[in-house]
Every structure is written in C-alpha cells, then in structure tokens.
Amino acid sequence: MKQRVISAIVAAIIVIPLFLLGGWVFNAGVVALAALAYFEIIKLKESHNKLSNNIRIIGFLCLELIVLSGFDIGFSINGLTNLSIGITILLLLTPSIFDEKGKYTTRDALYLIGFIIFIGLFLNLLVVTRNQPGGQWLLLYLLLIAILTDTFAYIIGRLIGKHKLIPSVSPKKSIEGCVAGTLMGTIIPVVYYQMVISSNLNIVLVIIMTLVLSILGQLGDLFFSKVKRENKIKDFSNIMPGHGGILDRVDSLAFITIGYVVIVNIINLIV
C-alpha cells in the first residue's frame, strides 16, 4: 500500500503541471507517454521479442506520427489524419511480405498496426482536447468519468459485490460494482458539465452521453484486462510500482476519450 501511494504521488507531481500548462508542454508529456505505452505493446507477445530493431523503430515512429499528426508548432489543427494512418499501414505491412523466417509475420504486422492506431488515436485526441479553448475543463470532465466510475466500482464491489460481471475476463469485478460505478460516474460528471463546461446542451443529452461514457470506461477496463489475461500477465509493466504500467492506468480513459468524440459527432448530426 505504501508503494502504491508513493507511486500515485509521484505520478500526480508529474501529470498535474503538464495538465495545467497545456500547449507544447502537455504535448511533450503525451509524446513521452506514447513511448512508454509502445514499450508495453512490444513486450506483450513472446513473438514480438523476435522483432528486428528496424521494425521496432518503424512502429515507434509511426505511433508518434499518429499522436502528433495535424499539429503546428505544438497546437492542434485537425487532429488525426488519413496520411498518418496510411503511412503506418504501408510501412508496417510491407516488411511482412519479405519475412522468410517467421520473425515478422502478417499477424505480427496487423497486431502492431491495430494497437498503434488505437493508442495513437487516443493520445492524439487527448492533445486535441486539451489544446482547444477551455480544453482543460473538458479533459477534466472525461477524467472525472474514468476516476469516479473506477473508484466506486471498486469500493462497492469490495463491500457488497456478490454477482460476478465477466469472471473469465476479470474475476474481481461485480455487477453491483458496475452499477454503482456507472451511477456515480454519471451523476457527478453531469453536474460538473452543466456548471463548468456548458449549460446550453440539453440536460437529457448530457446525461445519456455521460452514462454511455461511464459504461465505455468499464468496457475499456475489461478489454485491457482480457489483453493481459490472453498474454498471461498481471500488469503491462512495473513502471508505476503498485499500479502497473501506463496501459493499466489509461485503459478506461482510452475508451472514454474515443467514445466522447464519436458521441459528439453523432449529436452534431442530429441536433
């Protein structure tokens, strides 16, 4: 427990200033985060320990390209671009054609591409969100959903959780915890959204959006839990003693951030 608390304090000391300053400082922090996440992705499967350094470097550069695509002098313009995705697909698929020793198969290539685009999109959207006017308050809204959902799902699950949610994926998660996490991860962020971000959007839409994002956060947690279970590991890394790796900490936030962009675009189409 002591180690867990110390890790959390150190992480807060690093993350909070980046969050408050925004701009190129925040962008630089996200670039570093991408590098750490990439290391965890590469180490996931035993086969990827056989990847050549050239492939590892190409994959890393592609991830950073996606994270930073659509930016000018550290500030967001258009976000993720088709160009960055196209370059990533072509650079990582092509070498698999010439693999004769099974060290870089088409399956390896598709695995890398999938994770790189997924993590790259998430981190790109973090930068896009933070660097827009008032973006720090919107990003805090997304963080509140993730933190409150996870916290109350854990607490209530430990106290009264009796019915397992999906034991084959995450044995400790319960239906009771899921419901409690969804409720608290919806109510408080909705109040925050109305008071801090905007009261112009219909309250019913805000409730529905926040409810869906809270559920998506839990699905993100379950997705990364299944990835770890399939790879027979407890944590993605030990970079944060007591907490695990970077992917262990951003699992729910990744689904929430991507889900938010999807929902906002749908709302803009129908409202």
The answer to whether 248 and 256 have CB atoms below 8 angstroms apart is: no
From residue 137, alpha-carbon distances to 56, 197, 198 in Å are 36, 7, 10
Note whether 93 and 38 are same-domain residues.
yes
Beta bridge partners of 76: 71
The answer to whether 75 and 119 have CB atoms below 8 angstroms apart is: no
* CA pair distance 8, 5, nearest whole angstrom: 5
Note whether 49 and 67 are same-domain residues.
yes
Range of lowest pLDDT (23-27, 41-45, 48-52, 118-122): 48-52
Note whether 63 and 144 are same-domain residues.
no
Where is the domain boundary, 132, 153, 175?
132
What is the tally of structural domains in the chain?
2
Note whether 127 and 11 are same-domain residues.
yes
Where is the domain boundary, 80, 98, 132?
132
| CA-wise closest residue to 248 among 44, 12, 18 | 44
pLDDT in the model for residue 109:
93
* CA pair distance 244, 206, nearest whole angstrom: 33
Note whether 149 and 68 are same-domain residues.
no
Beta bridge partners of 164: 174
pLDDT: which is higher, 20 or 56: 56
| CA-wise closest residue to 196 among 263, 143, 152, 141 | 141
The pLDDT of 53-74, averaged and rounded, is: 82
Give pLDDT tens digits for 204-261.
Answer: 999 999 999 999 999 999 999 999 888 888 888 887 776 678 898 899 999 999 999 9
Note whether 266 and 201 are same-domain residues.
yes
* CA pair distance 128, 104, nearest whole angstrom: 33
Query: Dihedrals φ, ψ of 83, to 5°?
Result: -60, -45
pLDDT: which is higher, 104 or 8: 104
Where is the domain boundary, 71, 102, 132?
132
Report the half-sphere exposure of 266 (CA within 13 A, side-chain side): 11
Note whether 271 and 145 are same-domain residues.
yes
Note whether 22 and 70 are same-domain residues.
yes
Structural domain including 220 reads 134-271
Note whether 60 and 123 are same-domain residues.
yes
Note whether 155 and 205 are same-domain residues.
yes
Range of lowest pLDDT (28-42, 106-120, 172-186, 237-251): 237-251
Largest CA distance in the chain: 60
Most confident of 37-51, 191-205, 230-244: 191-205
Query: Dihedrals φ, ψ of 164, to 5°?
Result: -70, 140
Note whether 127 and 20 are same-domain residues.
yes
pLDDT in the model for residue 6:
64
| CA-wise closest residue to 69 among 115, 112, 111, 116 | 116
Report the half-sphere exposure of 204 (CA within 13 A, side-chain side): 1
* CA pair distance 145, 57, nearest whole angstrom: 35
Note whether 2 and 98 are same-domain residues.
yes
Mean pLDDT rounded to a whole number for the chain: 86
* CA pair distance 62, 50, nearest whole angstrom: 19
pLDDT in the model for residue 235:
84
**Measured at the alpha carbon of residue 198, what is the angle toward residues 72 and 200, in degrees to the nearest 5?**
120
From residue 187, alpha-carbon distances to 95, 112, 145, 194 in Å are 49, 37, 9, 11
**Band of pLDDT at residue 3, cut at 50, 70 and 90:** low
pLDDT in the model for residue 8:
64
